[in-house]
C-alpha cells in the first residue's frame, strides 16, 4: 500500500531534504522514525529536494508498506522526530501516485527583511541596501517567457532537461518595506530559485537591467547570472497535485 505524508520543516539544521553520506537530512530523520514505528526498513520519496538550509511550509513524501499503520502514527512520528520537523497528515493513495512525478507545480517564497530582525533569524535574508523593486518586478516578468533555465542551474547536476514552465514570478513589498519573492513552476532545477533571486537583486541595485535577463537566459551559462541568494530566505510553501490524489485522505 502506498501512502502520502504531508510535513513541514525548518531546514537550518539539515543538509537539505535528500539523504547525504556525511550530513543529517530531513529524509534520513523521517525514514529512521518511520522504520522504527513500522519495525521494518522504510524509505520515503519527497516531492522535491530542497537544498541545505532551505525550509518547507508544505512538503509531501510517499512510502510503501504492507504493515497496517497504527492509529497513533502521526503522534508517534512527531514524538520521535526533532521539533524542527512536523508531520501533519498521512493518507493512502493510488499505487501509481508519486510524490515527485505526480506533482503539477511547486511554489516557493523568498523572504527578505529590510532590517535586522532577531525573531526571524535564520528564516529571512537581511538585505538593507537600496533596491528598485519596480525594476525587479519587470525583470521577474521576463522569466515567464522562457523555458530553458540552464543559466540558473548548478553546474554539476544530473538532469535530462533544463526546461521548466514558470507561471508566476513577482515581488511583493510589505508595508514595512520587507520583500517576498513568489515563484511557481512545474519543476525547478538545483539551486534555481536562489540564483534567480540573486540575479534580480543585482537588477534592483542597478548592476543589471531588465534586458539583461533575456540575454542571461539565452546564454545557457551559469556564469552569466548573479550569485545565489542565501538559503535561509527560501521556503517551499505549496506542492500541487491533481484532486484525485486526495480522494482517500484521512487525518489522525
| pLDDT tens for each residue of 66-99 | 999 999 999 999 999 999 999 999 999 999 999 9
Among 101, 107, 95, 93, CA closest to 4: 93
pLDDT band with cut points at 50, 70 and 90 for residue 248:
confident
How far apart, in whole angstroms, are the C-alpha atoms of residue 72 and residue 167?
39
Give the right CATH number for 105-237 from 2.40.50.90, 3.30.565.10, 3.20.20.70, 3.30.70.660: 3.30.70.660
* DSSP structure class, residue 244: G
State the alpha helices, DSSP H only, in the chain: 26-38, 73-80, 133-141, 192-204, 210-219
Q: Which CATH class is domain 2-102?
A: alpha beta
For residue 172, give Cα distances in angstroms to 43, 81, 110, 111, 132. Answer: 38, 34, 10, 10, 12
Structure-block grid coordinates of residue 227: 550569485
Examine domains 2-102 and 105-237 and report if their fold is the same. Answer: yes
C-alpha separations of 183 from 101, 108, 164, 196, 199 in Å = 19, 5, 12, 10, 14
Q: How far apart are CA 11 and CA 15, in angstroms?
A: 8
Residues tagged active-site: 51
Kindly indicate the confidence band of residue 157, based on its pLDDT and cuts at 50, 70 and 90: confident
pLDDT band at 250 (very low <50, low <70, confident <90, very high): very low
pLDDT above 90 (res 160): no
DSSP state of 200: H
Give the predicted TM-score (pTM) of the model: 0.94
What pLDDT is stored for residue 111 in this prediction? 98
Query: Would you list the domain boundaries of the chain?
Result: 2-102, 105-237
Tens of pLDDT, residue by residue over 11-52, are 999 999 999 888 999 999 999 999 999 999 999 999 998 999
Amino acid at each position: 500500500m502506498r501512502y502520502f505524508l504531508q510535513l513541514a520543516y525548518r531546514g537550518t539544521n539539515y543538509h537539505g531534504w535528500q539523504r547525504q553520506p556525511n550530513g543529517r537530512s530531513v529524509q534520513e530523520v523521517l525514514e529512521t522514525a518511520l522504520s522504527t514505528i513500522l519495525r521494518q526498513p522504510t524509505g520515503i520519496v519527497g516531492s522535491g529536494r530542497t537544498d541545505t538550509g532551505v525550509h518547507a511550509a508544505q512538503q509531501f513524501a510517499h512510502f510503501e508498506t504492507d504493515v497496517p499503520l497504527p492509529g497513533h502514527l502521526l503522534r508517534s512520528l512527531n514524538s520521535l522526530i526533532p521539533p524542527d520537523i512536523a508531520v501533519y497528515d498521512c493518507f493512502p493513495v493510488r499505487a501509481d501516485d508519486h510524490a515527485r512525478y505526480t506533482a503539477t507545480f511547486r511554489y516557493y517564497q523568498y523572504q527578505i527583511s529590510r532590517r535586522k530582525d532577531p525573531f526571524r533569524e535564520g528564516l529571512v535574508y537581511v538585505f538593507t541596501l537600496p533596491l528598485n523593486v519596480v525594476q525587479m518586478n519587470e525583470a521577474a516578468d521576463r522569466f515567464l517567457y522562457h523555458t530553458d533555465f540552464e543559466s540558473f542551474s548548478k553546474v554539476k547536476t544530473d538532469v535530462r532537461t533544463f526546461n521548466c514552465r514558470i507561471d508566476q514570478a513577482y515581488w511583493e513589498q510589505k508595508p514595512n518595506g520587507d520583500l517576498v519573492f513568489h515563484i511557481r513552476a512545474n519543476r525547478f532545477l538545483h539551486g534555481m530559485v536562489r540564483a534567480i533571486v540573486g540575479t534580480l537583486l543585482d537588477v534592483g541595485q542597478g548592476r543589471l537591467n531588465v534586458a539583461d535577463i533575456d540575454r542571461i537566459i539565452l546564454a545557457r551559462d551559469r556564469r552569466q547570472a548573479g550569485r545565489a541568494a542565501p538559503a535561509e530566505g527560501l521556503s517551499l510553501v505549496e506542492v500541487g497535485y491533481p484532486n484525485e490524489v486526495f480522494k482517500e485522505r484521512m487525518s489522525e
